[in-house]
Structure 1
Amino acid sequence: MQTPRLTSRIIRFGWIGLLVFLLTACHQDMYDQQKYTTYEPSSFFTDGRSSRPNVPGAIPYEVIKTDEFLYTGLVDGKEVDAMPFPVTKDLLLRGQLKYNIYCAVCHGEAGYGASMVAERGGIVPANFHQQRLREAPLSHFFVIITNGVYRGDPNNGGYQSMYSYASRITPEDRWAIAAYIRALQLSQNATIDDVPPAERAKLGN
């Protein structure tokens, strides 16, 4: 039968053994990692350098933006009712996809601002079918998606009610969403005269 002193000694040596194992198991691999440090020479490449030159034609992220309208939605500092590229069916489908992912959660699938966020949140999302937004230039929606929305002066008690999606949605997809929002507006404020004659027969009576 083990005595309390013997049991205590076994436990003590067991902890010491575990501590030694933990200290030796991870130290060397983590300390001496298999990687090249900055400017470290390499015998693998013929030029002797471990740091590789950029691929010809590579452009650093967000460094060169030659098309101001594409990236800002502004022409001479003003919003305009235009797109930087043609609006196609594929573009609208892309816009619908991205809208349903990023926008519908607040603004609702039809753009009326009716959503769970609107019901439970303290800020009412914009209704795209109000007259002010129906008359807004198309690039207005791109600008809002890019920069977000501030209520009041952000330096004097104001706050951001919608954050910027610039880091989450590419410029091309932001434009696709803007085009889809305009399509939503037209779909909810159209007359029979707006429907092409070839399509009217499909509507029925």
Structure 2
Amino acid sequence: MRRLLLVPLAWVLAGCPVDFQGWGGMKQQPKALPYRESTFFEDERVMRQPPAGTVPRNRRGQDRFFLTGKDAPDGGYVESIPLTLTREWVESGGKSFDIYCATCHGVLGDGVAQVARNMGLREPPSLVDLPEYPDGYYYDVITRGYGLMPAYAEKLTPEQRWAVVAYVRALQESQRAGLEDVPPEARPRLLKEGTP
């Protein structure tokens, strides 16, 4: 009796290689594999091309400036952020900055971070001390990466990347500001806290 039970058990554990009713098992089933030829379609390609004029759902209503950070006519960078700035939106850029950028560029964007100190080849630059680049340049660097910095297009949506650019601009302004740039009603509080 035990030997009779071992035969079906061995057959099940072997992955059903036996052909039942002419099926041929899972390995022989008809299926289309990517990048292979197919006689089913007229152009003999398995992977289908989208119809002409279609736009991916996640990019509907977004223009080239928004998606690339570059001007269409000359290929130069967009000078300003193509979205309406709000406090909440810039703060969301700060959250993304803290997650993805602060580990190398520092919480203040000044390049002071433990990861930056441990980098042997080249330390990340201070974002505060960079020359005046257009906003589209920062967006392009976040999207495609630069030097040792990886691309973040897979991790951040276009809106999040533009929010990070807005936050970097806010960091630059805050680090370059002097006491004369602070509203008069806020100056006593800053002087009391010991901030020059």
Sort the Cα spacing of 1:65 and 1:112 in 2 relative to 1 into closer, same or farther, 3 A.
Answer: same
Equivalent in the alignment of 2:134: 137
SS at match of 1:149: coil
- Deviation, 1:66, is 4.9
Q: Write the letter of the residue equivalent to 1:85.
A: L
Q: Is the 8 A contact 1:111 1:129 kept in 2?
A: yes
CA contact (8 A) 2:94 2:164 kept: yes
Are residue 128 (structure 1) and residue 132 (structure 2) matched? no
Q: 1:21-64: per-residue Cα shift (whole Å, max 9, x none)?
A: 32477999xx67xxxx89xxxxxxxxxxxxxxxxxxx9425666
CA apart distance, 1:17 = 5.3
Normalised TM-score (structure 2): 0.66
Whole-angstrom CA distance in 2 between matches of 1:183 and 1:140 = 16
Cα 1:63/1:203, change in 2 over 3 Å: closer
Report how many aligned residue pairs link the two structures: 158
Q: Does 1:197 align with 2:172?
A: no
Q: CA RMSD in A?
A: 3.2
Q: Which one of the candidate residues 71, 79, 82 is aligned to 1:81?
A: 79
Structure 2 CA distance, aligned partners of 1:26 and 1:103?
Answer: 52
Q: For residues 60 and 138 of structure 1, do their structure 2 counterparts lie closer, same or farther at Cα, with a shift above 3 Å needed?
A: closer
Q: Scaled by the length of structure 1, what TM-score is found?
A: 0.64
Sequence identity (%): 35
Asked whether 1:22 is paired with 2:9, we answer no
Provide the rounded CA distance (Å) in 2 between the counterparts of 1:89 and 1:192: 22
1:92 alignment counterpart: 90
Aligned equivalent of 1:3: none
What SS does the aligned partner of 1:188 have?
Answer: helix
Aligned partner of 2:65 in structure 1 is: 69
* Higher relative strand content: 1
Give the number of the structure whose alpha-carbon radius of gyration is greater.
1
